């Protein structure tokens, strides 16, 4: 039962990804062509409100439902890791027109071919783990 | 009801995504979808080949449940909340896509030229889908996050690594969109 809340939040996530057309390949293409404000508005407003959330967490004004402090662990630093990994991710994002969240939501839309993309993404994560020690970070 | 069934504007979607992130932290977890790819590797037995995947994946099961909810939400939205599949993209975008060989852009959510069953069953089409996925998965784990973990959480938390990663996302995305996609179709 403790998992049902994550399922419900996931449903909200899936609905907003679909209804705001974030799962549409065309919206990603349009974003990288700078031909619409839509995606920038979504990410920008989410980040702006996210900053307020982070501030409330840091000031301990909001705690978890169990009363624990909320710590957001810092991302790993490293120019190569973030820049090169980011570029590779961006190449895939613009080709698939979907990042990991939307990929899964597209299953719910009944898109069979997205399963190949998800298989590829899982394989990609495996290959990263396999070659990790040989990569610059 | 029309409020729900029409496409949602950016100023509705952005705040809801922020709410999703907030709720996951409020429930004691975090927002990041691509780490599920590693969990899937661990479940699939990747730990037998690479120590990196020898983790107790059960502690990440909440995130798989979140993803299962995402799939369900996608189903609900497409079955009952979306009377049309048309995506009202910029007419210039439609023209640009026609010029590179993608027709009827915006008539549905996804281009047939990439996602139709026929395309998937062709060698070239299959490889495009597979390689796109590999780049997303490899890149996300190398960078330590995807759009959710870096662009939303990391930027919200004013993290320099996330700013670098998001700049990387855009360098890669722009190269693909402007220079590689025109050669593919």
Distance CA B21, CA B131 (A): 29
Evaluate whether residue B105 is within a structural domain: no
Evaluate whether residue B90 is within a structural domain: no
Least CB–CB distance from A120: residue in B87, B133, B165: B133
Instruction: Tell me if A27 and B87 make a contact (CB, 8 A cut-off).
Output: yes
pLDDT at B159 over 80: yes
Rg of chain A, C-alpha, whole Å: 18
The distance of A65 to chain B (nearest Cα, Å) reads 6
pLDDT band per the 50, 70, 90 thresholds, residue B3 = confident
Instruction: Tell me the pLDDT tens digit for each residue of B73-93.
Output: 999 999 999 999 999 999 999
Give the global pTM. 0.97
Instruction: Tell me if B23 and A9 make a contact (CB, 8 A cut-off).
Output: yes
Which chain A residues contact residue B70 at CB under 8 A? Answer: 10-11, 13-14, 17, 101, 104-105, 108
Same domain, B4 and B58: yes
How many other CB atoms are found less than 10 A from the CB of residue A38?
Answer: 23
Evaluate whether residue B52 is within a structural domain: yes
From A11, A13, A17, select the one nearest A97 (Cα to Cα): A17
DSSP state letters, A24-38: -HHHHHHHHTT--SH
As for how many domains chain B has, the answer is 2
The distance of A59 to chain B (nearest Cα, Å) reads 13
**DSSP letter assigned to residue A104:** H
Any long-range contacts for A126-131 (C-beta under 8 Å, 24+ apart)? A126/B41, A126/B46, A126/B50, A126/B53, A126/B137, A127/B134, A127/B137, A127/B138, A128/B137, A128/B138, A128/B141, A128/B142, A129/B38, A129/B41, A129/B46, A129/B50, A129/B52, A129/B53, A129/B141, A130/B49, A130/B50, A130/B52
- Predicted confidence at residue B1, as pLDDT, reads 75
- Predicted confidence at residue A121, as pLDDT, reads 98
pLDDT band per the 50, 70, 90 thresholds, residue A1 = confident
Instruction: Tell me the pLDDT tens digit for each residue of B18-38.
Output: 999 999 999 999 999 999 999
**Mean pLDDT within A32-40:** 98
Same domain, B129 and B77: no
From B66, B127, B19, select the one nearest A119 (Cα to Cα): B127
**Mean pLDDT within B8-24:** 98
From B40, B97, B93, select the one nearest B64 (Cα to Cα): B40
Instruction: Tell me if A128 and B89 make a contact (CB, 8 A cut-off).
Output: no
- Residue B1 structure tokens: 């009801």
Same domain, B63 and B118: no
Instruction: Tell me if B164 and A64 make a contact (CB, 8 A cut-off).
Output: no
- Predicted confidence at residue B128, as pLDDT, reads 98
Least CB–CB distance from B70: residue in A32, A42, A104: A104
Evaluate whether residue B12 is within a structural domain: yes
Instruction: Tell me if A112 and B133 make a contact (CB, 8 A cut-off).
Output: no
Evaluate whether residue B104 is within a structural domain: no
Evaluate whether residue B102 is within a structural domain: no
Distance CA B45, CA B139 (A): 21
Evaluate whether residue B93 is within a structural domain: no
Evaluate whether residue B98 is within a structural domain: no
Domain of residue B138 covers 114-184
Same domain, B74 and B118: no
Instruction: Tell me if A121 and B9 make a contact (CB, 8 A cut-off).
Output: no
| ipTM of this complex prediction, to 2 decimal places | 0.96
């Amino acid at each position: 039962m403790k998992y049902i809340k994550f399922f419900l939040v996931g449903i909200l996530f899936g609905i907003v990804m679909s209804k705001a057309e974030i799962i549409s390949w065309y919206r990603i293409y349009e974003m990288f062509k700078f031909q619409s404000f839509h995606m920038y508005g979504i990410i920008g407003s989410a980040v702006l409100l996210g900053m307020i959330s982070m501030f409330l967490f840091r000031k301990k004004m909001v705690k978890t439902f169990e009363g624990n402090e909320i710590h957001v662990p810092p991302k790993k630093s490293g120019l190569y890791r973030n820049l090169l990994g980011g570029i590779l991710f961006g190449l895939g994002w613009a080709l698939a027109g979907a990042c990991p969240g939307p990929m899964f939501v597209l299953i719910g839309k009944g898109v069979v071919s997205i399963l190949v993309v998800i298989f590829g993404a899982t394989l990609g994560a495996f290959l990263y783990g396999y070659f990790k020690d040989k990569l610059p970070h | 009801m029309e409020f729900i069934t029409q496409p949602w504007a950016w100023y509705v979607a952005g705040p809801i995504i922020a709410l999703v992130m907030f709720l996951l932290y409020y429930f004691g977890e975090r927002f990041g979808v691509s780490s599920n790819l590693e969990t899937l590797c661990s479940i699939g037995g990747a730990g037998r080949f690479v120590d990196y995947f020898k983790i107790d994946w059960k502690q990440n099961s909440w995130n798989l449940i979140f993803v299962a909810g995402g799939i369900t939400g996608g189903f609900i939205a497409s079955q009952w909340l979306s009377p049309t599949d048309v995506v009202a993209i910029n007419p210039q975008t439609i023209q640009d896509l026609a010029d590179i060989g993608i027709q009827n852009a915006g008539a549905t959510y996804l281009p047939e030229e990439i996602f139709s069953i026929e395309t998937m069953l062709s060698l070239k089409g299959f490889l495009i889908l597979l390689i796109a996925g590999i780049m997303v998965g490899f890149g996300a784990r190398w960078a330590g996050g995807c759009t959710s973990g870096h662009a939303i959480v990391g930027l919200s938390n004013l993290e320099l690594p996330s700013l670098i990663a998001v700049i990387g996302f855009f360098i890669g995305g722009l190269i693909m969109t402007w220079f590689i996609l025109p050669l593919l179709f």
